[in-house]
């Protein structure tokens, strides 16, 4: 009998111990593999979606929020900038390309992005059906939106899928549907900037007109009441008008506070449509590609110091963002390493206890001609088979855990490609080797003990 046959027989004789050791190895490897795959896929997604975008310019506020909202469409924009700012950036000698973005609307949770056809070129988009927009209120749909060429849709204000603030004054017509790109573009609707600006201008005007219509009956009733009051008390009114003239100056002094109070009463209404009024002649952000690495270093500083807008570098901001998440990642890695160490200790204890029970059998094998090296190899093979099987199970489980995590997080749609997490990876080999190496390390001492079996003493003592 060779070492492998003896190792398999030993594993079958103690199925519970072998299964527990295998499970411990699998748990540790699964955690390490899942964390690595998840972080690798997210980092690759960040880089893939920001490819070709060197700088993002928008209103002053949080640089990270601006990058997340304008590049990854995973946050709410803080505000808008003027078209004059965009034109100034476009004319800069340091800028190779400037793509304006106008955000603020969505359709069933899919964001409507006002941009230029160059925005589609950033992601190397190809059309499955139809073609690019050529006039206002034509739009191109991403692969995951479920829309078809020729459909007409009414977008809603904001980014909530269940919003009831519908922009039904103008309908968007789908002129093209894109093939999957593996980027955030797959869940976007792209149209001309002018479409978003015109829609918001019309939406704001319509709302103000409604408010004016509501006020007209109230004003009419007020004037009617004044006329009746004037008719019933004509003489008193003439006398009062003289007093009114003498106190015009005093009344005028109170006009401004009264006016301020009326402005305060209407402030809530103005806030509700402030973004509409602003976006009617503005854009949300500008995506910039610079001419040289030197411009990438100098232009953001120049913009932040000398203008009323803010510049941010996506690669830098996302590096800071991922670093802030490093604590959670490190905790999971430590937990995975802890499981691997626990598996090594369990395997060591299992082999040691099994060896003490099989010393007589090992002595008999020595008498039958088995060399010490064969006994050493038998114990090592047993450990390698248990830890290797556990590592393979752990790698498979790690891929499934990472895949489940990605598809369950809505904000990662379009950022991470779930299918890549199920495909074999080169690092899988390293994780399997880590598991096997852990098992061999744990089995080294018991293997030496098996090779140094005292034949005469054990045979004299017998199985007792």
Q: How much is the pLDDT for 100?
A: 95
User: Coil, strand or helix: which one is 240?
Assistant: helix
pLDDT in tens, 27-70: 889 988 998 898 888 888 888 888 899 999 999 999 999 999 99
Q: How much is the pLDDT for 150?
A: 93
Phi, psi angle pair for 370, to nearest 5°: -70, 130
Q: How many residues does the chain have?
A: 464
Average pLDDT, the chain: 78
Q: How confident is the model at residue 125 (pLDDT cuts 50, 70, 90)?
A: very high
Q: Which stretches of 257-365 are assigned E, i.e. beta strand?
A: 282-283, 285-290, 309-312
Residue 224 has pLDDT above 60, yes or no: no
Burial class (CB in 10 A: 0-12, 13-18, 19+), 193: buried
Do the Cβ atoms of 288 and 56 come closer than 8 Å? yes
User: Shortest CA distance to 75 belongs to which of 298, 312, 305?
Assistant: 312
Q: How much is the pLDDT for 463?
A: 52
Structure tokens at 201: 């201008």
- Residue 128 CB: number of other CB atoms within 10 A? 13
Q: How confident is the model at residue 414 (pLDDT cuts 50, 70, 90)?
A: low
Do the Cβ atoms of 380 and 440 come closer than 8 Å? yes
Phi, psi angle pair for 368, to nearest 5°: -75, 0
273's torsion region: left (phi>0), alpha (psi -120 to 50) or beta? alpha
d(CA 101, CA 58): 10
Q: List Cα–Cα distances, 451 to 121, 356, 365, 366, in angstroms.
A: 68, 13, 11, 9
Q: How much is the pLDDT for 249?
A: 40
Q: Which of 96-105, 129-138, 376-385 has the lowest mean pLDDT?
A: 376-385
User: Coil, strand or helix: which one is 445?
Assistant: helix
Quickly list DSSP for 82-150.
EHHHHHHHHH-TTEEEEEEEEEEEEETTEEEEEE-HHHHHHTT--EEEE----STTEEEE-TTS---TT
Residue 290 has pLDDT above 90, yes or no: yes
Residue 186 has pLDDT above 50, yes or no: yes
Between 450 and 420, residue with greater pLDDT: 420
Q: How much is the pLDDT for 406?
A: 85
Q: How confident is the model at residue 240 (pLDDT cuts 50, 70, 90)?
A: very low
Q: How confident is the model at residue 419 (pLDDT cuts 50, 70, 90)?
A: confident
User: Is pTM beyond 0.85 here?
Assistant: no
Structure tokens at 377: 């190899």
d(CA 416, CA 446): 46
Q: How much is the pLDDT for 13?
A: 79
Do the Cβ atoms of 331 and 31 come closer than 8 Å? no
d(CA 344, CA 338): 10
Q: How confident is the model at residue 457 (pLDDT cuts 50, 70, 90)?
A: low
Q: How much is the pLDDT for 360?
A: 63
Q: Which residues contact 168 (CB under 8 A, 6 or more apart)?
A: 154
């Amino acid at each position: 009998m060779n070492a492998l046959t003896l190792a398999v027989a030993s594993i079958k004789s103690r199925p519970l111990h072998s299964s527990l050791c295998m499970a411990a190895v699998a748990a540790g490897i699964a955690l390490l593999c899942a964390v690595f795959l998840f972080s690798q896929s997210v980092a690759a997604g960040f880089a893939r979606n920001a490819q070709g975008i060197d700088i993002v310019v928008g209103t002053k506020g949080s640089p990270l929020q601006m990058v997340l909202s304008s590049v990854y469409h995973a946050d709410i924009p803080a505000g808008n900038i003027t078209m004059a700012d965009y034109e100034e950036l476009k004319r800069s000698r340091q800028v190779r390309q400037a793509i304006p973005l106008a955000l603020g609307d969505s359709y069933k949770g899919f964001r409507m992005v006002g941009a230029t056809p160059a925005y589609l070129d950033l992601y190397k988009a190809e059309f499955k059906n139809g073609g690019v927009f050529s006039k206002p209120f034509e739009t191109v749909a991403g692969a995951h939106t479920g829309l078809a060429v020729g459909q007409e849709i009414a977008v809603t204000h904001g980014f909530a899928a269940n919003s009831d603030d519908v922009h039904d004054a103008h309908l968007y017509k789908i002129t093209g549907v894109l093939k999957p790109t593996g980027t955030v573009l797959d869940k976007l609707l792209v149209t001309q900037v002018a479409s978003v600006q015109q829609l918001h201008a019309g939406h704001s005007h319509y709302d103000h007109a409604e408010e004016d219509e509501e006020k007209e009956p109230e004003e009419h009733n007020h004037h009617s009441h004044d006329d009746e009051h004037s008719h019933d008390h004509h003489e008193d009114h003439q006398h009062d008008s003289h007093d009114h003239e003498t106190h015009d100056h005093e009344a005028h002094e109170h006009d401004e506070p009264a006016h301020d109070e009326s402005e305060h009463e209407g402030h809530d209404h103005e806030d509700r449509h402030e973004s509409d009024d602003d976006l009617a002649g503005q854009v949300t952000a500008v995506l910039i590609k610079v001419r040289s690495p030197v411009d990438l270093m100098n232009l953001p500083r120049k913009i932040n110091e000398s203008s009323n807008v803010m510049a941010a570098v996506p690669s830098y901001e996302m590096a800071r963002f991922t670093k802030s998440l490093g604590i959670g990642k490190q905790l999971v890695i430590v937990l995975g390493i802890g499981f691997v160490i626990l598996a090594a200790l369990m395997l060591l204890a299992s082999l040691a206890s099994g060896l003490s029970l099989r010393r007589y059998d090992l002595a008999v094998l020595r008498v039958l001609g088995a060399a010490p090296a064969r006994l050493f190899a038998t114990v090592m093979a047993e450990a390698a088979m248990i830890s290797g099987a556990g590592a393979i199970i752990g790698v498979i489980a790690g891929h499934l855990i990472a895949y489940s995590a990605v598809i369950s997080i809505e904000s990662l749609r379009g950022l991470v490609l779930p299918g890549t997490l199920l495909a074999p990876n080169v690092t899988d080999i390293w994780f399997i080797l880590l598991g096997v190496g852990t098992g061999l390390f744990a089995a080294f001492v018991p293997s030496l003990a098996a090779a140094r079996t005292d034949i005469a003493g054990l045979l004299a003592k017998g199985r007792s």
